[in-house]
Chain A
Amino acid sequence: MAHVWPIGGGKGGSGKSFITSSLGRLSAELGKKTLIIDLDLGAANLHTLVGVPDPQKGFSDFIRKKIPLLEDTVVETPSPNLFLISGAHDNFDIANLSYEQKIRTLRAIAKLDFDRILLDLGAGTSFNTLDFFLISQNGIFITTPEPTSVENVYRLIRAIYFRRIRYCFNVTDFKELELEADRQFGDGSFNKPDSLMKVIARTNPEKYTQLNNEFGAFRFKLIINQVRRHDNVALGLQMSRMIEKHLGLNMEFLGNVAYDEHVHDAICQQVSFLERYPYTKTASDLRELGKLIVESAGKQLTLRYM
């Protein structure tokens, strides 16, 4: 079964697509048959980053059932071993996938035959993003060392936590749960996943154990992107410590990626940054991350709740 790595981060412009494309290239170079899927629905641009400016087919062909199988929407890229499902010609209403469409997509992704699958997810905390993130235990969060970005990544993590709890209950039970949390912990606490968990622990120990095991199985990763010279290099470690201590989720800090003006140049010229500027700090940071991704193994795909 393929290793699926959803890549998200909450805030736009933090470099999700750039890192996805770079990691895709690296993993392909290291001999893994790699697929990258543009799931930034409604704002797709991954095709431009991997040198396929005008792909002939894409994700929306699968959604519109023009192409029945997801694997038939895969296009090759100029790099050997690297494949793409593009969102270049997505319909303009694709941002709002229906529940059935989403389930169909998730199941199809799970069946694809690749060594590594990287999902480029959009900004924000829409249900699409959250559900695609929950497809794997190895979700990668990307943030820049700025308060806006850090804020959004915490929000995304909590939203994912919340979404997973929400799946366990039907509408009325969940409503009750929220009310109970509100009664016990006061105003606004229905919005805190950890307070909800505390209520569940008391009212529904069975579900609590199940959820707890699942959260324990997550192996989220954190990458700090666009690290400038005077930035705090320990930020990533400190953030993962915060999340582990206060949310109880495993969060592994993978590494920093240095900021480099040349990334902008490479994107403008539509060439691979790693090939054009292989000796920059940024490129070597990316190669380190690529190695981690390719070497890491482990349990994948948690589709049980679907």
Chain B
Amino acid sequence: MRKDFDQLSYYEMLDIKPDAVPYEIRHAYNAALQLYQPGSLVSYSFFSDGERRAILSLVEKAYQTLINDQSRKDYDDELIRRGELEAREESAPDVRKPVSVFHISHGPAVRTVFISSDALKNKISQSQIITDILARSELSGEDLKQIRTELGLTIEQIAEETKIRVNNIRSIEEGQAEQMPPAVFLKGFVKSYLKCLGLESVEELSARYMNTVSRLK
């Protein structure tokens, strides 16, 4: 039998799936308002004033419940208890990143590997060599190169991630003053390089590197 509106679950009221994301919920709520609010052409004469008020307050309640993570979870649990919703396995929310439309890679063909910062941090804390290097008071280009190879990253990958040109990265690692970009740019490049490697803290390390380099000059 067709259920009355007040018998529907909040998801059915808003015509969304139980796994809808907040954006979809907000969108569905606006769509429902368009249907039911007084003065809407769609539901003109369809409901009496009392019915309309009842529906609108239900829609409002559905939205307030679902848009709040905690109350939504409570509501889901209740639905699951009533057997109206299947228990879903907990999975980490799938964060979507913008997808690049054009993939233009200048240097040699490089297989793009996403550099996962968690994995890097793990490696850094486990590697004896890196810990040693970071413990010193100086940080030369050679040290950076060593950390990079220790982490198993190529210059191209870093270039890909940071958008710094390959020859600039190379000059940072070689520490040859005449080939380096001007100090203003160099500072920024080094910071993104360090960030890309997942080293901490970027500010402190980049200052250490700049000091080392200026002493070489």
Q: Which residues of A contact B (CB under 8 A)?
A: 145-147, 150-151, 154-155, 201, 212, 232, 235, 238-239, 241-242, 245-246, 248
Q: Contact check, B45 vs A154: say whether CB atoms are below 8 A apart.
A: yes
Residues of chain B lying within 8 A (CB to CB) of residue A154: 45-46
**Contacts A/B (CB < 8 Å), 27 sampled:** A145-B41, A146-B41, A147-B41, A147-B45, A150-B41, A150-B44, A150-B45, A151-B44, A151-B45, A154-B45, A154-B46, A155-B45, A201-B1, A212-B1, A232-B41, A235-B41, A235-B42, A238-B31, A238-B34, A238-B42, A239-B42, A241-B35, A242-B35, A242-B42, A242-B43, A242-B46, A246-B5
CB distance from B66 to the nearest CB of A (A): 18
Residues of chain B lying within 8 A (CB to CB) of residue A201: 1
Interface magnitude class on chain B:
10 to 19
Q: Which residues of B contact A (CB under 8 A)?
A: 1-2, 5, 15, 31, 34-35, 41-46
In this complex, the member of B15, B45, B46 whose beta carbon has the largest number of chain A beta carbons within 10 angstroms is: B46
Closest B-chain residue to A152, C-beta based?
B45
**Known: A201-B1, A246-B5, A248-B2. Is A241-B15 also a contact (CB below 8 A)?**
yes
Closest B-chain residue to A240, C-beta based?
B42
In this complex, the member of A146, A147, A155, A201 whose beta carbon has the largest number of chain B beta carbons within 10 angstroms is: A147
Residues of chain A lying within 8 A (CB to CB) of residue B43: 242
Residues of chain B lying within 8 A (CB to CB) of residue A147: 41, 44-45
Please measure, in the bound complex, the distance between the C-alpha atom of A190 and the C-alpha atom of B19, giving whole angstroms: 39
Residues of chain B lying within 8 A (CB to CB) of residue A232: 41
Closest A-chain residue to B40, C-beta based?
A238
What is the count of residue pairs linking A and B with beta-carbon distances less than 8 angstroms? 34
In this complex, the member of B15, B35, B41, B45 whose beta carbon has the largest number of chain A beta carbons within 10 angstroms is: B41
The 10 closest A-B pairs by CB, nearest first: A248-B2, A151-B45, A238-B42, A147-B44, A150-B44, A154-B46, A239-B42, A238-B35, A151-B44, A154-B45
Residues of chain A lying within 8 A (CB to CB) of residue B44: 147, 150-151
Given contacts A238-B34, A241-B15, A242-B43, 8 further A-B contacts (CB under 8 A): A147-B45, A150-B42, A150-B44, A151-B45, A154-B45, A212-B1, A238-B35, A242-B35
Closest A-chain residue to B31, C-beta based?
A238
In this complex, the member of A155, A232, A242 whose beta carbon has the largest number of chain B beta carbons within 10 angstroms is: A242
Q: Contact check, A246 vs B46: say whether CB atoms are below 8 A apart.
A: yes
Please measure, in the bound complex, the distance between the C-alpha atom of A154 and the C-alpha atom of B46, giving whole angstroms: 7
Closest A-chain residue to B51, C-beta based?
A246
Please measure, in the bound complex, the distance between the C-alpha atom of A212 and the C-alpha atom of B35, giving whole angstroms: 26
CB distance from A61 to the nearest CB of B (A): 40
Closest B-chain residue to A236, C-beta based?
B42
Residues of chain B lying within 8 A (CB to CB) of residue A239: 42
Please measure, in the bound complex, the distance between the C-alpha atom of A246 and the C-alpha atom of B31, giving whole angstroms: 16
Residues of chain B lying within 8 A (CB to CB) of residue A146: 41
Partner of A245, one of B5, B31, B34, B45: B5
Please measure, in the bound complex, the distance between the C-alpha atom of A146 and the C-alpha atom of B41, giving whole angstroms: 7
Residues of chain A lying within 8 A (CB to CB) of residue B45: 147, 150-151, 154-155
CB distance from B38 to the nearest CB of A (A): 12
CB distance from B42 to the nearest CB of A (A): 4
CB distance from A109 to the nearest CB of B (A): 31
CB distance from B13 to the nearest CB of A (A): 9
Please measure, in the bound complex, the distance between the C-alpha atom of A201 and the C-alpha atom of B1, giving whole angstroms: 9
